[in-house]
Each structure stands twice: as structure tokens, then as C-alpha cells.
Amino acid sequence: QVQLVESGGGLVQAGGSLRLSCAASGRTLSDYVVGWFRQAPGKEREFVGAFSWSSHFVYYEDSVKGRFTIYRDNAKNTVYLQMNSLIPEDTAVYYCAAGSTGIAIKIKSEYGYWGQGTQVTVSS
């Protein structure tokens, strides 16, 4: 099993940046696909992007492409979500999740492990 802990959320003005961290313990994240999701108040949890060590891919939803970057630090067993050019519509609780290699990365139920979430608020 793997345990995930997100951090790095906060309040930022539109146009600003934040970096979220997803730190893992228990197993190495290189064994998993790591996805980022977000959930705004009153809305469904939605896919943001995903990263896989073993399959060597990174994928972003259109709404964040060009603004968000997912990358890893092997030594720290951590995946990061760098968020630039933030807009108020990015306001949500952000979650990282881990799933087995080969899953349908946009499907929440495919991920077996979830962090507790971290709040991101973008003011206009």
C-alpha cells in the first residue's frame, strides 16, 4: 500500500503560482500512475493530469494545459503539480491519487489510493 499526503495549497491572486506536493510513503511512486484531480464546491471531482514513471508519460486536461506542470522527485518519492497563471476557476480542493499502471487515467474509480486534499483559492 501507498499513503499520499498533499501540501502546498493556499490563497493566491489571479495570475499567480502555487506548487502542490504529493508525498508518498509505504511504496515507491514509480510503481504507480499518479493523477491529480480537483473538486470545486458543488461540482464533481474532475481530472487535471497524470504522470507515470514506468510508462514515461505525462498528460494534462485541456483546461490546464500550458499552465500546469506535473513532475517528480525520485529521491523524495514525491510528485509535484506546478500551477502557473492561475485563474479563479482553478479554485478547488486538489487531490493526488495513485493507481496501477495501465488504468484509465481520467476515471476516479481507477485509482486505489488518495490523499486528503489541499485547498487552492484564487482571488480575482
The predicted-structure confidence for 64-117, as pLDDT tens digits, reads as follows: 999 999 999 999 999 999 999 999 999 999 999 999 988 889 999 999 999 999
Tell me how many helices (H) and strands (E) the chain has: 0, 11
Cell numbers 484564487 correspond to 122
Nearest to 121 by CA among 54, 26, 40: 40
For residues 98 and 85, the answer to whether their CB atoms sit within 8 Å is no
Cell numbers 488518495 correspond to 114
Pairing label, strands 46-52, 68-73: unpaired
Pairing label, strands 118-123, 10-13: parallel
Q: What is the mean pLDDT of residues 23-43?
A: 95
